[in-house]
Chain A
Amino acid sequence: EVQLVESGGGLVQPGGSLRLSCAVSGFTFSSYWMSWVRQAPGKGLEWVATIKQDGSEKYYVDSVKGRFTISRDNAKNSLYLQMNSLRAEDTAVYYCARDWIGYCSSTSCYDAFDIWGQGTMVTVSS
């Protein structure tokens, strides 16, 4: 069964750090780009970061650049998000998601997030 299971969320004070993990099973983890998406309470979805299969390319939303680091361990089938200098506005449910290529035409490949974890809650508060 294809599964993504996040862990590591919790309550942290402003300025603190937290490391989220996403354990993957049911597919060849090393073959896929992976991403983190967050959702603040009662709000919409926000893409946070994406990492290439071998970790050689990483992309971040501006609001977390310099504070968050996405990484992966293909031997452990795990995705991570190291979050430092946390702020109240980082409070959200954090989802990991598989970046899947639906199909490729002669010129472009079209992807989407086809598998999502259940999410882990991060609360930044004093």
Chain B
Amino acid sequence: DIQLTQSPSFLSASVGDRVTITCRASQGISSFLAWYQQKPGKAPKLLIYAASTLQSGVPSRFSGSGSGTEFTLTISSLQPEDFATYYCQQLNSYPWTFGQGTKVEIK
């Protein structure tokens, strides 16, 4: 099974900060990676697919990059509504797996 390791697991930041979350895969997954945002008590929301393609309706301050085993999600200027938990997911091969999550909290 492909393991995804996100870092950091917790992140404290201020509004306006640039935030970067890393997702490392235990083996190469090309660009078969998606990023989701989840707020407490809510379903996840798709942000990025194919590692770097922004989902329709998602603000352009979100961006994704990477290929193979290392990927990043960047929020260029953190907004109050961005405080949430972020997950990466690999869709290269079954069983599909998620990273353990990165919780972005207000500093």
Listed in ascending order, the chain A residues whose CB lies under 8 Å from chain B are 35, 37, 44-47, 50, 59-62, 95, 102-103, 108, 110-114, 116-119
* B-chain residues with CB within 8 Å of residue A119 when the two chains form the complex: 43
Given known contacts A112-B46, A112-B89, A114-B46, A46 and B32 CB-to-CB distance under 8 angstroms: no
- Is the CB–CB distance between B94 and A59 below 8 Å? yes
Given known contacts A44-B87, A45-B87, A118 and B99 CB-to-CB distance under 8 angstroms: no
* A-chain residues with CB within 8 Å of residue B95 when the two chains form the complex: 47, 59-62
Across the interface, name the chain A residue whose C-beta is closest to B99: A44
* A-chain residues with CB within 8 Å of residue B45 when the two chains form the complex: 116
Listed in ascending order, the chain B residues whose CB lies under 8 Å from chain A are 1, 30-32, 34, 36, 38, 43-46, 49-50, 53, 55, 87, 89, 91, 94-101
- Is the CB–CB distance between A110 and B98 below 8 Å? no
Secondary structure call for the B interface: loop
Please give the distance in Å from B32's CB to the nearest CB on chain A: 6
* A-chain residues with CB within 8 Å of residue B98 when the two chains form the complex: 44-47
* B-chain residues with CB within 8 Å of residue A113 when the two chains form the complex: 34, 36, 44, 46, 89
* B-chain residues with CB within 8 Å of residue A110 when the two chains form the complex: 31-32, 49-50, 53, 91
Given known contacts A44-B99, A47-B95, A103-B53, A108 and B30 CB-to-CB distance under 8 angstroms: yes
* A-chain residues with CB within 8 Å of residue B97 when the two chains form the complex: 47
